[in-house]
Chain A
């Protein structure tokens, strides 16, 4: 076993130990990192591995958040039970969008725009339908009991996010070593060659988007339970879609650790710019400053490091 193989193990131990030693603020930031990495991985499966860039992944996130919240508030379901139902809903929405757009032969930017249109349509629907309570949003009654998927101590959300993140990493790891993942990469790299080699390109893309939808929806439920409030903009807004895309692109699309690295980088920038804006008065009105930094970073990454930050790690490892 080399020193590099120990790295993930050490990182895991550090992640588990963090809440025991760090202040609450850092635990919250850590929770955000793992949560972002989790929903980023959802984007990574369809966008990174299968190469189907989406601008509207919030459609799955929001479907998950609303499904579990409606089941809980309107139908009295236990949120733990509503969670898999939300994932199923996310998978179904993924399946429907995939079948509609890939049957129509949409690729590249056309597919990206269609996903954006779906997310916007869902946002507008959530804004106007009675069972989503429209623009008022939905408030989950605070009742902090673990059986209720609510915790008094934020540490538990931290560990839950960590667990989700690990599961998503395992899924991505499985993709890098199995048949399904190999087929997705083949589809991304060259659809014609993939078809010639016996791959049902349409079916694989549909599977990828359904899986991706289920994972993003799981993130939506997690979000709703953590903040106990969702509205159409939070759930289906463009911000979420961009966040999921950005962490993956920045970290490295189609890699196992890309979304996690990207989540670290973006959350770090977010916190740093917020701190900076509170210290430097001139920056107070430039809000949110983080978006400008994100933008610059994305330009740099796309221009200089198209394979994301993971490449830096690989370079370091090669020199080590």
Chain B
């Protein structure tokens, strides 16, 4: 069996062994969404106006929550060290790990956003645009928060530092996604902005794993 296949099998087993890791961010997302009408007003017109933006922000936070310790267990049980000895570039393995993480931990999150959308009475066409932006944008977000997780691997007292460090870099993604949602609301063309968002995501998914692998190397043994 190739290394990639074995890695995938391992990740699959790990995900199955810890269903809580998949479930908790979804739970968090729904809780945040339930707070919105309580804090604002149950008026459905008002909720429909801000609903899609609220869901976006809540999904972003939930994603950060479950990516924060992405490499922690692999770091402490020595798996990352073993990666260095494989005849594969570290950036490639990191990329695989990020893809698997996105599939198992981020896609479920996206899957429940329609329910949140219905609860905040977001119109259907905006909801479809929302789903599209999340699918296109989350790979970039996953990569960046993975970098935050890798940079703070070695420090025991980092807390949510990885999140704080990476969040400013999310600005372009959030702005573009918000642009798509605004256009979807007033019914104009969303494709150009979606293309930009996709381009950003692709570039991030190609380049950030290299930075992540540098950060991992740094935390293992210190020198390269």
B is bound to A: no
Interface residues of B (CB under 8 A from A): none
